[in-house]
């Protein structure tokens, strides 16, 4: 559980998994499922894809096979496919099938490593926007020095534009997500801008800043003003709100920087016999650091604002990454996150912190 | 010299330095000047600020004092001052005085650690836009795996908007800057976007992409298409072109990520006796890594598109950072960069790689 507290055991949680759409292939998906089952034995899976392939890959009699129902899908949406083409080819694809299991209520959450644009297009078609939501957004977790260990960034790329009203709704959705994914009771929200002074930035940001003052009590969050790129990891904010163009670029810049430094660190330690010895001594420390900046451990962009939960796993995620996305889906599902968020967006009032019944498929 | 080759000795290079506007104070500016003079004894300085303060701080008889002319300025532009107010208060300030020495031709370049918005506003008023330039841009160097060690990013925050034509002009200016600052003969230029597919991103980016095809031979660069946030440090591009809003956020996100990892690394090594021993063994490696990801070593946003060179040093830069900004100014001045860039923007044709005469104040 990411940043969460232990919950009392409940019934099974059924997750709907697209086995086919990632870059990595079925084997990593199954290994990720296996890891997630070890971590939480109450999970069950509906697995969508080529039944023959999946049947062969899933060893009969294994603990995972006992908890998995295979559902055949003829086709696969490609990683480079345009959303418009993906929509035309949706029927019969593993991605579409995974979403249908959420629509039908069999599962509260779908997980796919497929291409983001196609997954968002199909999700909107299959699940529709929740009442009160004009633009769904993708929320991601980013390592920070906050006690929860992460900040929330949204929109990470669902839509390349957002006006002032959209940004305020992102703040409401982000606050709800931070409460449920990170156990932050009263999230501090900041608007991403090029300066923290009130007169700076684009007009829609200044307008959103004014609207935020009235939205904050409604959404039970604290609006802390403008934040900058270097606040991504800072401890003064919990949720960073921005349009999907800027958010996507900030996210990928941060990831790229972390990966570059990791590579440099490896090279630095391979430099001499002394530094190799140093690396050996410091192995534990380096592992701790590696786990902290490893994007696989925060794998999973969550689609907010739909009638059902959809989690996008990194296209290139390995088994560890896929397992992280599954655990995130399980935790959010168990907390009834989709229903809480929908209630907040539709009515603006009831506290999602007070609700407690689990959501969706308990068997 | 950042990424450059050694040049034959020439006459003195006179640089105009705003001593007062940074967060750090006069002592760090003078230490930075001292370091830059040690690295390049041909530098001379016109130092702008409170003459009494500067006179006291600059030890009489020191090598630095022998190469420095103090020019009195009554006032200081504050770090939080709005550009509009800074413009009204420009007269008599150290920032304005530093720019006047460039306008008059006494110095080819001004360096200031003052606030970016005010420095850009005063620079445009004092130096005016070069012919053919609609929006000046701020170019920064970003550590990369390229042979030169850095990529160029622009605009890093001169202007929060840019249309397709602006982006193409940024490409022309960025190509010229990469040739002169990094010795990349034929820079590879990419447009920052949320995906590399041609159909993705904002309309102005798709339009700029089409215009880039005809601009590339004129600007003697290779247009490589769209790049993403994780290409900031990559070896497949030399110059990343974007609007100043996105560029500023990408830059600060990258910096924030690097600083967070540096702090985490320190904590990791302080964790146990073993890891402390490891850090000791690996000290050399860690120093090499630190130098690589230390923003002070690439300190200096260069204002492109004005009739004269202006370099903005980080507000919080210490002596090492200020010295880096001074060396960058000296190198670009010596190469006659401003004149080469102006010729390219005005005429579009002559190769700035072929010119060789030094520019401005040789005494």
Quick: pLDDT tens for B295-324: 555 567 999 999 999 999 986 778 888 998
Domain boundary pick from A248, A268, A300: A300
Q: How far is A177 from chain B (nearest CA, A)?
A: 22
DSSP structural state of residue B144: -
Higher pLDDT, A287 or A127: A127
Do B5 and B123 fall within a single domain? yes
Q: Provide the pLDDT confidence category of residue A271 given band limits of 50, 70 and 90.
A: low
| Candidates A247, A257, A297, A315, partner chain B, best to mutate (most B CBs within 10 A) | A257
Select the highest-mean-pLDDT range: B20-24, B258-262, B263-267. B20-24
Q: Beta-strand (E) ranges in chain A?
A: 13-18, 43-49, 68-72, 109-112, 137-143, 150-154, 188-192, 222-227, 239-241, 301-304, 309-312
HEC profile for A109-128? Answer: EEEECCCHHHHHHHHHHHHC
* Structural domain contains residue B229: yes
Give the pLDDT score at B352: 44
Give the pLDDT score at A246: 95
Give the pLDDT score at A283: 61
Average pLDDT score over residue span B22-29: 89
Do B129 and B139 fall within a single domain? no
Do A240 and A328 fall within a single domain? no
Put simply, whether A277 touches B (Cβ < 8 Å) is: yes
* Structural domain contains residue B295: no
Put simply, whether A59 touches B (Cβ < 8 Å) is: no
Cβ contact A271–B253 (<8 Å): no
Query: Residue A155, preceding bond cis, omega within 30 degrees?
Result: yes
Instruction: Name the closest residue on chain B to residue A272, using Cα atoms.
Output: B285
Least confident of B77-91, B112-126, B334-348: B334-348
pLDDT score of A275 more than 70: no
Cβ contact B255–A230 (<8 Å): yes
pLDDT score of A357 more than 50: no
Put simply, whether A83 touches B (Cβ < 8 Å) is: no
Mean pLDDT estimate for chain A: 86
CA–centroid distance for B144 within its chain: 16
Find chain B residues with C-beta within 8 A of A272's C-beta.
Answer: 284-285
The residues near A354 (Cβ < 8 Å, ≥ 6 apart) are: none
* Structural domain contains residue B293: no
* CATH number, domain with residue B313: 3.40.50
A232 vs B161, B242, B257: nearest CB: B257
Q: Provide the pLDDT confidence category of residue B7 given band limits of 50, 70 and 90.
A: very low
For residue range B68-82, what is the model confidence (pLDDT) as tens digits?
Answer: 999 999 999 998 898
Cβ contact A256–B260 (<8 Å): no
Q: Provide the pLDDT confidence category of residue B22 given band limits of 50, 70 and 90.
A: confident
Domain boundary pick from A277, A300, A323: A300
Least confident of A92-106, B110-124, B335-349: B335-349
Q: Which among A120, A112, A123 is positioned nearest to A22, based on CA atoms?
A: A112
Do B83 and B32 fall within a single domain? yes
Mean pLDDT estimate for chain B: 86
* Structural domain contains residue B331: yes
Do B23 and B83 fall within a single domain? yes
Q: Provide the pLDDT confidence category of residue A286 given band limits of 50, 70 and 90.
A: low
The residues near B319 (Cβ < 8 Å, ≥ 6 apart) are: B28, B29, B31, B32, B34, B35
* Structural domain contains residue B280: no
Give the pLDDT score at B271: 62
ipTM: 0.83
Domain boundary pick from B262, B294, B323: B262
Q: Provide the pLDDT confidence category of residue B3 given band limits of 50, 70 and 90.
A: very low
Contact criterion met (CB below 8 Å) for A275 and B284: yes
Give the pLDDT score at A44: 97
For residue range B116-148, what is the model confidence (pLDDT) as tens digits?
Answer: 899 999 999 999 999 989 899 999 998 888 998
Q: How far is B242 from chain A (nearest CA, A)?
A: 11
Give the pLDDT score at A202: 87
Find chain B residues with C-beta within 8 A of A117's C-beta.
Answer: 195
pLDDT score of B244 more than 60: yes
Do B144 and B121 fall within a single domain? no
| Candidates A118, A194, A259, A288, partner chain B, best to mutate (most B CBs within 10 A) | A194
Q: Provide the pLDDT confidence category of residue B331 given band limits of 50, 70 and 90.
A: very high
B254 vs A161, A202, A254: nearest CB: A254
Cβ contact B252–A229 (<8 Å): yes
Put simply, whether A264 touches B (Cβ < 8 Å) is: yes
Find chain A residues with C-beta within 8 A of B115's C-beta.
Answer: none
Do A267 and A320 fall within a single domain? no
Do A187 and A96 fall within a single domain? no
Do A89 and A140 fall within a single domain? no
For residue range A61-90, what is the model confidence (pLDDT) as tens digits?
Answer: 899 999 999 999 999 999 889 899 999 999
Q: If you count residue pairs, one on A and one on B, with CB atoms under 8 Å apart, how many are there?
A: 197
For residue range B183-197, what is the model confidence (pLDDT) as tens digits?
Answer: 999 999 999 999 767
Query: Residue B155, preceding bond cis, omega within 30 degrees?
Result: yes
Higher pLDDT, B224 or A342: B224
Cβ contact A275–B289 (<8 Å): no
| Candidates B241, B243, B266, B282, partner chain A, best to mutate (most A CBs within 10 A) | B282
Find chain A residues with C-beta within 8 A of B244's C-beta.
Answer: 194
Do B10 and B57 fall within a single domain? yes
Give the pLDDT score at A361: 36
Q: How far is A355 from chain B (nearest CA, A)?
A: 36
Q: Which among B274, B269, B273, B272 is positioned nearest to B289, based on CA atoms?
A: B269
Instruction: Name the closest residue on chain A to residue B80, using Cα atoms.
Output: A197
pLDDT score of A273 more than 80: no
Average pLDDT score over residue span B78-91: 92
Percent of chain B with pLDDT over 90: 61
* Structural domain contains residue B274: no
Give the pLDDT score at B262: 76
Domain range for A178 is: 134-300
* Structural domain contains residue B144: yes
Do B216 and B333 fall within a single domain? no
DSSP structural state of residue B36: H
Residues 286-345 on B with a CB inside 8 Å of A are 286, 288-289, 292-293
* Structural domain contains residue B256: yes
Q: Provide the pLDDT confidence category of residue B294 given band limits of 50, 70 and 90.
A: low
φ and ψ of B32, to 5 deg: -60, -45
Domain count, chain B: 2
Give the pLDDT score at A298: 59
And the tokens for B3? 């990424």
Select the highest-mean-pLDDT range: A105-109, A269-273, A358-362. A105-109
* CATH number, domain with residue B140: 3.40.718.10
For residue range A138-175, what is the model confidence (pLDDT) as tens digits?
Answer: 999 988 889 988 999 999 989 888 999 999 999 999 99
Taking CB atoms within 8 Å and a gap of at least 24, the contacts of A339-344 are: A340/A176, A340/A180, A341/A130, A341/A173, A341/A176, A341/A177, A341/A304, A341/A305, A342/A130, A342/A131, A342/A307, A344/A172, A344/A176, A344/A219
Do A37 and A127 fall within a single domain? yes
Give the pLDDT score at A360: 40
Contact criterion met (CB below 8 Å) for B47 and B71: yes
């Amino acid at each position: 559980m990411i940043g969460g507290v232990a919950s009392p055991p409940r019934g099974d949680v059924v997750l709907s998994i697209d086995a086919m759409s990632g870059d990595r292939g079925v084997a990593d998906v199954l290994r990720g499922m296996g890891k997630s089952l070890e971590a939480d034995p109450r999970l069950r899976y509906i697995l969508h894809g080529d039944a023959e392939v999946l049947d062969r890959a899933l060893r009969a009699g294994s603990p995972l096979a006992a908890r998995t129902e295979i559902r055949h899908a003829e086709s696969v949406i490609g990683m480079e496919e345009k959303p418009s083409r993906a929509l035309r080819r949706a029927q019969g694809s593993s991605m579409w099938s995974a979403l249908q299991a959420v629509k039908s209520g069999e599962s509260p959450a779908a997980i796919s490593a497929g291409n983001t644009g196609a997954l968002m297009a199909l999700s909107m078609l299959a699940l529709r926007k929740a009442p009160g939501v004009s633009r769904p957004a993708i929320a991601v977790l980013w390592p920070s020095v906050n006690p929860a260990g992460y900040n929330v960034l949204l929109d990470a790329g669902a839509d390349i534009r957002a006006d002032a009203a959209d940004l305020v709704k992102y703040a409401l959705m982000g606050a709800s997500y931070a409460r449920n994914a990170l156990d932050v009771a009263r999230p501090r929200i900041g608007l991403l801008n090029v300066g923290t002074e009130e007169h700076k930035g684009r007009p829609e940001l200044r307008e959103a800043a004014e609207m935020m003052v009235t939205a904050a009590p409604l959404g039970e969050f604290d609006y802390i003003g403008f934040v900058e790129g270097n606040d991504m990891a800072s401890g003064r904010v919990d949720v960073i709100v921005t349009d999907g163009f800027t958010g996507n670029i900030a996210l990928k810049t941060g990831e790229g920087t972390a990966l570059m430094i990791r590579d440099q660190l490896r090279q630095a330690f391979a430099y001499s016999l002394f530094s190799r010895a140093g690396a050996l001594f410091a192995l534990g420390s380096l592992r701790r650091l590696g786990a902290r900046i490893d994007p696989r451990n925060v794998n999973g962009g969550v689609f907010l604002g739909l009638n059902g939960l959809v989690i996008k796993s990194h296209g290139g995620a390995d088994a560890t990454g896929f397992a992280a996305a599954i655990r995130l889906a399980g935790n959010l599902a168990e907390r009834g996150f989709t229903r809480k968020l929908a209630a907040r967006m539709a009515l603006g009032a009831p506290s999602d912190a007070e609700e407690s019944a689990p959501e969706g498929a308990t068997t």
